[in-house]
Structure 1
Amino acid sequence: MHNTDIKLDLQLRFRLIEIIAQWEGRLTTNHLCQAFGIGRQQASKDINHYLKAFARGGLEYDRSLKGYKPTDQFRPQFCQGHAHEYLQLLDRHDDLGGVLSFLSLKLGGTEVLDVPSRHVDPQVVRTLVQAAREGLAVEVHYDSLSSVAPADDPTRLIHPHTLVFNGVRWHVRAWCEKNQAFRDFVISRFRGPASLDDSRPRIRKADDREWQQSVTCTLIPNPRLSQRQKEVIARDNGMDLDTLSLPLTVPKALLPYYLKRMDVAHPYNPLLEDFYQQVVVKTQA
């Protein structure tokens, strides 16, 4: 693991170098400049410092990519190499609280409950990210729960456009050649290696109607709770305390993830106690 004698700001920059290189497969000075507000000269100096002192052959410059990519010798020293670190970085890069969690400081009197890290292949993620960035297709094996893999286990051809983290696991939104529709794929169910395919017609994010279409619903405390209970639930969930409600407008494709993330009982189950269905979607009168 890393040397604790290194200044805190430099540890953060080295950590970013490792996470971007591992999960995106292309590191440039722009990553450091944009993340930390430093100049290109300082960013280049930091990368060279990391290469000389810690890389040990784990990063190499690729002229076609115009950036550094990981080699087979890459071993992270300033992060754990888990997918959630990259996802957290994407989710909170502009949030000060995210900078603190990005460093993974252990503060006295606090504890953060992390679910077990799901296995996600860095090579698969790098390929998905590159494909989404360049508008390419990806050929990869996928273990679907809805179908039984045939004996020859053919690959799946998808056109990814966005990675989505629902707070528990990663998904990728992509056009599926097999189903001829946009689908959500659980990234931990891909089995590598994944390969790029530039021979297919490009399918754009703009073609994904459910992604482009916004839907609005209103969240409220379960009407069957007492008034006091409803006020407590409203305060817990950031609802307007006068109307005891929270309007939510999101892309249609993401609505199920938002509802699950906020522990919304949808659809409502009349056989389950109301106390365990504290937040529901308001039905139209």
Structure 2
Amino acid sequence: MLESIGFAQKQRLAYIDFCLLFKGSIYRQDLISRFQVGLSAGSRDFSIYKELAPDNLSYDSREKRYLQTTEFKPVFEHDAKITLTKLANNISDGFDAIGDIHFPVEAPSSLNVPDIFIVARLVQAILNNKAVSIIYTSLSSGSGARELVPHSIVDNGLRWHVRAFDRKSQSFRDFVLTRISKVTIKDMPDPEESAQADTEWQCLVPLQIVPHPKNVQHPTAIEMDYGMENKQLLIEVRAAMAGYLLRRWNVDCTERGILRGPEYQLWLLNRFTLNNVPNLTIAPGYITKEQSNGGQT
């Protein structure tokens, strides 16, 4: 049946499929507003979708929206890499499932690609403000059940993780998506478990980055690469993300710029003003003030 449907209508059907998969529901008005179609055309699209997958959705007459059923199976194949990138950039359309326009641009492959259904359940929980029960395999304790309150899906440059409140440790942490093998949506979270209570996420820290003083012979080239002004790059990032960014860019975070090698073309100039940012411990060469004093406080 899909072969006989035109491209424009396939886009709308893919959007319905995408919303059910990642949001768990869709209003008819969502489709009408997104594609600027009439009420009758929108109704026809839902009728065709129900013909294609009658067990995928049910209609809630009280809330006037279509809901994902427990028997849901996507009609379209949603590409995990493309979908994650679109979610990260707030482009939620599902069009990759029917053949997006692909530009001749290549990027290094991610180390791993998460299961699209794991991502979908987590996104549903985030959008609907729900906690989740997961099976997670960690390096320290192996596989086990955890209860999380997720609030963001994050690309740290190497892999994807979910930022969430961990009810076991009673703290906000990062959980690698590929280590999650099962997700069950649960109850509503308490206010202290929400993104607003995640101080590292809400806090923006300034990073003052300059060409490496010892490894770079022609700093003007680095200034051009990063669009520096007055020979430096000033950016603000979430405290929970600062270390990831510095590690991705190979920024030397030692006190006097002592890291050697062609990969270290940048140096963090204001490292001591950032001593209370836990995420910086993963940045190249970064040590805390206490560590530099031999553990003395």
Q: Is this a same-fold pair by TM over 0.5? A: yes
Distance 1:214 1:248 in 2: 10
2:264 pairs with 1:264? no
**Residue 232 (structure 1) shift:** 2.0
Contact 2:205/2:239 (<8 A) preserved:
yes
Q: Map of 1:102-113 to 2, 5 A cutoff?
A: 103-107=99-103, 110-113=104-107
State the SS of the aligned residue for 1:276.
coil
> In structure 1, what residue type is equivalent to 2:181?
R
Contact 2:151/2:163 (<8 A) preserved:
yes
2:15 pairs with 1:16? yes
**Residue 31 (structure 1) shift:** 4.2
2:245 pairs with 1:245? no
Distance 1:245 1:255 in 2: 17
**Residue 183 (structure 1) shift:** 0.5
State the SS of the aligned residue for 2:114.
coil
Contact 2:57/2:69 (<8 A) preserved:
yes
Match of 2:58 in 1: 61
2:220 pairs with 1:231? yes
Distance 1:5 1:134 in 2: 32
Contact 2:156/2:241 (<8 A) preserved:
no
Structure having the higher Rg: 2
Match of 2:266 in 1: 279
Contact 2:208/2:269 (<8 A) preserved:
yes
For residues 211 and 111 of structure 1, do their structure 2 counterparts lie closer, same or farther at Cα, with a shift above 3 Å needed? closer
Match of 1:115 among 87, 101, 110: 110
Matched residue pairs, number?
Answer: 265
Q: Percent identity?
A: 25
Distance 1:245 1:4 in 2: 57
Match of 2:119 among 116, 125, 133: 125
Match of 1:139 in 2: 133
For residues 226 and 148 of structure 1, do their structure 2 counterparts lie closer, same or farther at Cα, with a shift above 3 Å needed? closer
Distance 2:173 2:82 in 1: 25
Deviations 1:11-70 (A, max 9, x none): 443333333322332233354355445566544443434443xx3336212428732426
Distance 1:224 1:30 in 2: 59
Match of 1:157 in 2: 147
Q: Map of 1:73-222 to 2, 5 A cutoff?
A: 74-77=73-76, 80-93=77-90, 103-107=99-103, 110-113=104-107, 114-115=109-110, 118-120=113-115, 122=117, 124-145=118-139, 147-149=140-142, 154-198=144-188, 201-202=190-191, 203-222=193-212
For residues 173 and 235 of structure 1, do their structure 2 counterparts lie closer, same or farther at Cα, with a shift above 3 Å needed? same
**Residue 176 (structure 1) shift:** 0.9
Distance 2:269 2:4 in 1: 52
Match of 1:27 in 2: 26
Distance 2:34 2:27 in 1: 12
**Residue 255 (structure 1) shift:** 1.7
Compute the TM-score of the two structures, normalised by the length of structure 1.
0.75
State the SS of the aligned residue for 2:45.
helix
